Structure 1
Amino acid sequence: MTQIARIKEPRPERRLQAERLIGGQALREAQALRYAVFSQEFDARLQGAELGLDRDTYDSHCSHIGVRDLSSGQLVATTRLLDHQAADGLGGFYSEEEFSLHGLKGLQGPILEIGRTCVHPAYRNGGTIAVLWSELAEVLNQGEYRYLMGCASISMQDGGIQAEAIMQRLRERYLCNEHLRAEPRHPLPPLDLPHNVIAELPPLLKAYMRLGAKVCGEPCWDREFQVADVFILLKRDDLCPRYARHFKAAV
Structure 2
Amino acid sequence: MEPLRKGRYLARLAASAEDLRAAQRLRWLCFVARDGLAGDAAPLDADPLDADCRHVLITDAAGRLVCCFRFLMLPGGRDIERSYSAQFYDLAALESFDAPMVEVGRFCVHPSAGDPDIIRLAWAALTRIVDDGGMQMLFGCSSFGGIEPAVHADAFAMLQQRHLAPRRWWPRIKAPHVFRLARALRPGPLDAKRALAAMPPLLRSYLAMGGWVSDHAVVDPVLRTMHVFTGIEIGTIPPARQRLLRATAG
The verdict on a shared fold, with TM-score over 0.5 as the criterion, is yes
- Inter-CA distance 113–215: structure 2 relative to 1 (3 Å threshold): same
- So what's the TM-score if we normalise by structure 1? 0.81
Is 1:19 paired with 2:12? yes
Contact preservation (8 Å) 2:179, 2:216: no
Aligned partner of residue 154 in structure 2, secondary structure: helix
Output the amino acid matched with 1:62. Answer: C
For 1:28 and 1:193, the matched residues in 2 are separated by 41
> Alpha-carbon deviation of 1:214?
1.0
Contact preservation (8 Å) 1:210, 1:240: no
Aligned partner of residue 135 in structure 2, secondary structure: coil
Aligned partner (choices 143, 155, 171) of residue 153 of structure 1: 143
> Alpha-carbon deviation of 1:187?
4.2
Q: Which residue of 1 aligns with 2:44?
A: 53
Contact preservation (8 Å) 1:18, 1:66: yes
Output the amino acid matched with 2:136. Answer: R
Aligned partner (choices 207, 231, 234) of residue 233 of structure 1: 231
Q: Which residue of 2 aligns with 1:3?
A: none
Is 1:39 paired with 2:38? no
Instruction: Work out the percentage of aligned pairs sharing the same amino acid.
Output: 25
Contact preservation (8 Å) 1:16, 1:68: yes
What stretches of structure 2 of length at least 5 have no aligned partner?
1-6
- Inter-CA distance 220–172: structure 2 relative to 1 (3 Å threshold): same
Q: Which residue of 2 aligns with 1:139?
A: 129
Aligned partner (choices 204, 207, 215) of residue 205 of structure 2: 207
Looking at CA atoms only, which structure, 1 or 2, has the larger radius of gyration?
1
Output the amino acid matched with 2:86. Answer: E
Q: How does 1:103-122 map to 2 (within 5 A)?
A: 103-122=93-112
For 1:192 and 1:30, the matched residues in 2 are separated by 34
> Alpha-carbon deviation of 1:243?
3.3
Two-structure CA RMSD over aligned residues (Å): 2.9
Output the amino acid matched with 2:214. Answer: C
- Inter-CA distance 212–124: structure 2 relative to 1 (3 Å threshold): farther
- Inter-CA distance 241–41: structure 2 relative to 1 (3 Å threshold): farther
Q: Which residue of 2 aligns with 1:94?
A: 84
Aligned residues: 229
For 2:10 and 2:108, the matched residues in 1 are separated by 16
Contact preservation (8 Å) 1:186, 1:222: no
- Cα deviation per residue 1:148-188 (whole Å; 9 max; x = unaligned)? 0101011234x211233321111111112234111232343
For 2:59 and 2:245, the matched residues in 1 are separated by 18
Aligned partner of residue 167 in structure 2, secondary structure: coil
- So what's the TM-score if we normalise by structure 2? 0.81
